[in-house]
């Protein structure tokens, strides 16, 4: 059959199986569009010189030239920040989450061929870098937040909470002879005449015996000697630590977050917390002075005569809640300094400024614990040793402060908040010939517009 139009003869082409290229360039590899929150956080850290500061701070703890270079230490701190923002308690969980998310790999600055560092690398890096380095990273983040006028340093609220340690009560032993709790019960049962006590016998004996208590003076944990027996917020008894927050009541930024032994009372740990807070405020140029003291707002657990005497006339102006006296009145026994300090604190507390500060303390300080411990996943520690736990906790709190900065700059302080954040604008324009309504919505950086035009019947539609 001939071809019309004088076209030259040509065979029909057929599709063939596509063979993949053996070598592809970095630009050709598919990449994640990223997460809007982590992209903005990445840009914020890069513009502030985060990785350069981290490498300079960590350089003394690495050999100048020996074998293959390590992974960047900035990646270690980024993974700990991810632990806060994603609410992950364990380091294994952080590694799994980073391996599962392309946007988190982008945040860690990993190429498609790079592997997410495993939890053993996190552990080795944490052991290599001392506590002072983690404290300096926390101070760098605090200075970054203060640079955006988010630290006032005028009113500081302090409170403590509990964090369950990575140790079980069944592992505790007596300090005097190393006897475990079960061995003690067996010995007591045998002394009472039961030669081979069963589990039920031991439970019955333990329930009925008098003077039963787990004193930290008598018992210690073999797996984590730093953990102490304490009553948790939910009423249970566990081996625990005591994190304490010093919070700027005007902005909610945490200026100090030490971890104390769980058996120490509030009046015992306050001095160390205030010392850390004063040092951190001084590093960012907001140090309180005796001429310009900073308001200290706490609950009644911190109220004591000796503590008020020590703080009276110092760099802290106390507004500490006062408990009711046991007999309805106070006896001073000639201690005029204590009387003066208690009455001055009471006068400041009952003022309008003091009542407002106490309400802010209940809001800001409790909110910080809810975000860091509950939503952030640090209510239970998976590390052992108070120093190890505090290293992780400092970067966790730094993530909380970064969240406040991100909320001030971009309107969202967590990745989940960024996913749900959206903006909508409604414009209404009326002319002689039409009514125009425009709805503009923004979600995850994408914009959409709905335009509605109303015209009178018989009128020409505007062009």
Residues with Cβ within 8 Å of residue 119, at least 6 apart in sequence: 91, 92, 94, 95
> Which of 58-72, 187-201, 392-406 has the least mean pLDDT?
58-72
The pLDDT of residue 459 is: 55
Q: Is the pLDDT of residue 3 over 90?
A: no
Nearest to 147 by CA among 277, 292, 47: 47
Residue 368 to residue 169: CA distance in whole angstroms: 28
DSSP H or E run through 426: strand 422-430
Q: If 0-12 CB within 10 Å is exposed, 13-18 middle and 19+ buried, where does residue 366 land?
A: middle
393 domain residue, yes or no: no
Does the pLDDT value for residue 344 go beyond 60? yes
Q: Are residues 253 and 368 in the same domain?
A: yes
**Given pLDDT bands bounded at 50, 70 and 90, which one contains residue 419?**
low
Query: Mean pLDDT throughout 226-243?
Result: 93
The more confidently predicted of residues 455 and 311 is: 311
Q: What's the whole-number average pLDDT of the chain?
A: 87
Identify the band that residue 30 occupies on the pLDDT scale cut at 50, 70 and 90: low
pLDDT tens string 93-132: 999 999 998 889 999 998 878 899 999 999 999 999 999 9
How far is CA 282 from each of CA 24, 148, 255, 311, 393, rounded to the nearest angstrom?
53, 17, 11, 18, 22
Residue 397: the pLDDT is 98
Tell whether 174 and 102 lie within a shared domain: no
Domain that holds residue 333: 151-164+227-383
What is the share, in percent, of the chain residues with pLDDT greater than 90? 61
Residues 276 and 187 in one domain: no
Asked whether residue 1 carries a pLDDT value surpassing 50, the answer given is: no
Residue indicated by tokens 């049962």: 189
* Mean per-residue pLDDT, 271-300: 95
38-62 pLDDT per residue, tens: 999 999 999 999 999 999 999 999 8
Torsion of CA 160, 165, 170, 176, to 10 degrees: -70
367-388: average pLDDT: 95
> How far apart, in whole angstroms, are the C-alpha atoms of residue 339 and residue 344?
8
Let me know whether 235 and 337 are in one domain: yes
Query: What's the whole-number mean pLDDT along residues 453-461?
Result: 67
Q: Let me know if residue 139 belongs to a domain.
A: no
270 and 181 in one domain?
A: no
Among 7-11, 157-161, 331-335, 382-386, the minimum mean pLDDT is found in 7-11
Considering the domain architecture, whether residues 364 and 429 belong to the same structural domain is answered as: no
- Average pLDDT, integer, range 181-208: 87
Query: Is residue 348 predicted with pLDDT exceeding 90?
Result: yes
309 and 261 part of one domain: yes
pLDDT attached to residue 415:
85
Total number of domains in the chain: 4
Same domain for 442 and 361:
no
Nearest in space to 394 (alpha carbons), one of 233, 244, 230: 244
197 and 231 in a single domain? The answer is no
Residue 22 above 60 pLDDT?
Answer: no
């Amino acid at each position: 059959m001939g071809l019309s139009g004088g076209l030259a003869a040509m065979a029909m082409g057929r599709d063939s199986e596509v063979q993949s290229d053996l070598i592809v360039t970095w630009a050709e590899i598919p990449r994640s569009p990223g997460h809007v929150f982590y992209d903005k956080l990445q840009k914020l850290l890069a513009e502030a010189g985060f990785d350069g500061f981290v490498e300079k701070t960590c350089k003394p703890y690495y050999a100048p030239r020996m074998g293959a270079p390590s992974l960047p230490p900035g990646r270690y701190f980024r993974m700990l920040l991810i632990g806060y923002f994603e609410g992950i308690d364990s380091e294994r969980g952080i590694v799994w989450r980073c391996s599962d998310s392309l946007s988190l790999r982008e945040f860690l600055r990993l190429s498609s061929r790079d592997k997410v560092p495993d939890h053993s690398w996190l552990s080795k890096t944490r052991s290599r870098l001392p506590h002072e380095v983690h404290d300096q990273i926390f101070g760098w983040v605090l200075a970054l937040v203060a640079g955006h006028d988010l630290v006032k340093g005028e009113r500081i609220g302090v409170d403590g909470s509990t964090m369950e340690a990575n140790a079980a009560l069944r592992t505790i032993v007596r300090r005097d002879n190393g006897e475990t709790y079960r061995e003690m019960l067996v010995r007591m049962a045998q002394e009472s005449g039961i030669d081979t006590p069963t589990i039920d016998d031991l439970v019955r004996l333990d329930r009925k015996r008098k003077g039963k208590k787990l004193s930290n003076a008598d018992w210690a944990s073999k797996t984590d000697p730093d953990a102490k027996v304490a009553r948790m917020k939910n009423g249970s008894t566990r081996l625990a630590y005591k994190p304490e927050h010093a919070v700027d009541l005007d902005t909610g930024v945490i200026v100090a977050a030490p971890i104390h032994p769980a058996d120490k009372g509030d009046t015992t740990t306050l001095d160390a917390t205030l010392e850390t807070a004063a040092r951190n405020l001084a590093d960012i140029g907001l140090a309180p002075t005796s001429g310009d003291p900073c308001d200290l707002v706490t609950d009644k657990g911190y109220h004591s005569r000796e503590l008020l005497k020590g703080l009276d006339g110092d760099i802290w102006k106390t507004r500490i809640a006062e408990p009711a006296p046991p007999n309805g009145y106070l006896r001073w026994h000639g201690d005029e300094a204590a009387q003066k300090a208690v009455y001055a604190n009471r006068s400041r507390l009952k003022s309008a400024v003091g009542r407002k500060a106490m309400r802010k303390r209940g809001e800001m300080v409790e909110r910080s614990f809810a975000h860091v411990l509950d939503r952030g996943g640090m209510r239970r520690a998976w590390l052992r040793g108070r120093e190890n736990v505090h290293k992780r906790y400092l970067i966790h709190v730094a993530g909380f402060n970064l969240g406040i900065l991100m909320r001030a700059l971009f309107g969202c302080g967590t990745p989940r908040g960024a996913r749900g954040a959206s903006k909508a604008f409604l414009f209404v324009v009326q002319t002689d010939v039409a009514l125009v309504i425009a709805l503009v919505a923004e979600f995850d950086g994408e914009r959409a517009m709905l335009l509605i035009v109303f015209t009178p019947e018989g009128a020409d539609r505007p062009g």
